[in-house]
Structure 1
């Protein structure tokens, strides 16, 4: 159980769901261990958040455990999306723990957002990778089948075709350099330019842990140097979280000493604290 997620399901304002899918992860697999590691390394945190004057254990969070994954990604995503729609139907906010980035598609389908905000080292705008249209390298492309616009924060890698797709009107990129220079304000500006009324736009937030520099979070499948700092990711998440209708932390694996899982757990808590403070 995620520490502090102690309320019953029917009383929850936030529901954590683990999705340990690990079928298309490239280079370093192990995302099947991500949900449990995030829960494990959250155990070191204080319950109290001084920025919002709240206790995590008082914010009506429930941990529903994991939805057991199987090898058919398309079928699994359909099933997982139904689970997350049930959370939404109960007027709670779904919080998804991956698992590979493919699971984000389920969250997006459940929320049906106007805006998809994604922290990621990679553009993930491929139509397929190695013949697999359900690869984790296709997530933003698939999200745009549901969302009207994608704001991708921290991307620094992609194929030539992906960079061309990223130039379309329904994609906005916020580079690591822009975040380093202007902080979360760069993301707020991008969102304001992407949708007419950010405050009322339905929004889904996805945090691929590889958006962080690998020196910060080495426990991920496809590391890409030149990424965001932990503080920058925290500030972006806290800035976006008050308006989200669903969120996830994905691509954490077991190939480090807990750095990636610790950052993922902290960002999940940051999102809940920021969202609850504005609710």
Structure 2
């Protein structure tokens, strides 16, 4: 089943949903391969109409392109996924990516080549590698900024972000916090996120929602839960602010280990993104 209300044909789409069920480097609790299906399923309860914008989701020209089936070679998969998303972007459809582990954001950034990456996340994800893997979900923001530390295997989709804003981050290694001191990274603590204001002028932005940015009390269905996180309304307000500047969006790290709370939040934030982007 496709995402509810995503009824536009591919050729007429202003937005295109793509599922990316990659589950290769997830740590602690795997299951992100079920994320795209669960997000679609738990979005079925939402009304089509949005009172704030006076839009119907089904009138926003959203197409559901289905899933890009994942396989064992994550780097090869990311290259293929990035090419698929780049095709959508070239046809003026904003890619809406449903993960899958957070690594898939690298493909979204490579496809859309934004000036800035905005991430809602509990973790900095600024490691150069995790357990020797530079394409781990724990290194995705570093990859989006710096590319591959050696030879870039995603060179066919070569965009990177000039800077990153990480909202809700509350944990990371000492080396990650050191990397976060550089001029191309801004970290906004959970307690400061409600007061954060988007200031992108003419910059293009890719927005990534790692569902573990939320407090695990409201979204326990994720691999690496981290207490003292964001409230859903705080995440919604960030999405509303960033969407008008965005060239791409994803919701990632949803797994099948709760009763649908994480998937419902991810699906609702996707709809908030579309309504806010369309309204702008």
Q: CA deviation at 1:199?
A: 3.2
Match of 1:177 among 158, 182, 191: 191
Q: Which residue of 2 aligns with 1:148?
A: 162
CA distance in 2, matches of 1:2, 1:211: 23
Q: Which residue of 2 aligns with 1:132?
A: 133
TM-score, normalization by structure 2: 0.94
Return closer, same or farther for 1:173/1:275 CA change in 2, 3 Å cut-off: same
The runs of at least 4 consecutive aligned structure 1 residues that moved more than 6 Å come to none
CA distance in 2, matches of 1:199, 1:96: 25
Q: Which residue of 2 aligns with 1:195?
A: none
CA distance in 2, matches of 1:175, 1:241: 20
Q: Which residue of 1 aligns with 2:210?
A: 208
Q: Count how many residue pairs are aligned between Structure 1 and Structure 2.
A: 266
Alignment of 1:92-131 (within 5 A): 92-131=93-132
RMSD of aligned residue pairs (Cα, Å) = 0.7
CA distance in 1, matches of 2:128, 2:187: 19
CA distance in 2, matches of 1:165, 1:157: 13
CA distance in 2, matches of 1:26, 1:187: 32
Q: Alpha-carbon deviations, 1:239-273, whole Å to 9, x = none?
A: 11111000100000000000000000000000000
TM-score, normalization by structure 1: 0.94
- SS at 1:5 equivalent: coil
Q: Which residue of 2 aligns with 1:262?
A: 264
More helix by share: 1
Q: CA deviation at 1:187?
A: 3.9
CA distance in 1, matches of 2:111, 2:24: 22
Alignment of 1:7-18 (within 5 A): 7-18=8-19
Pair 1:157-2:171 in alignment: yes
Alignment of 1:176-255 (within 5 A): 176-180=190-194, 182=195, 186-188=196-198, 192=199, 198-255=200-257
Query: Please, which moves more after superposition, 89-98 or 171-180?
Result: 171-180
Q: CA deviation at 1:132?
A: 1.1
Whether the 8 Å contact between 1:174 and 1:187 is mirrored in structure 2 is no
- SS at 1:133 equivalent: coil
Whether the 8 Å contact between 1:153 and 1:187 is mirrored in structure 2 is no
Alignment of 1:28-107 (within 5 A): 28-107=29-108
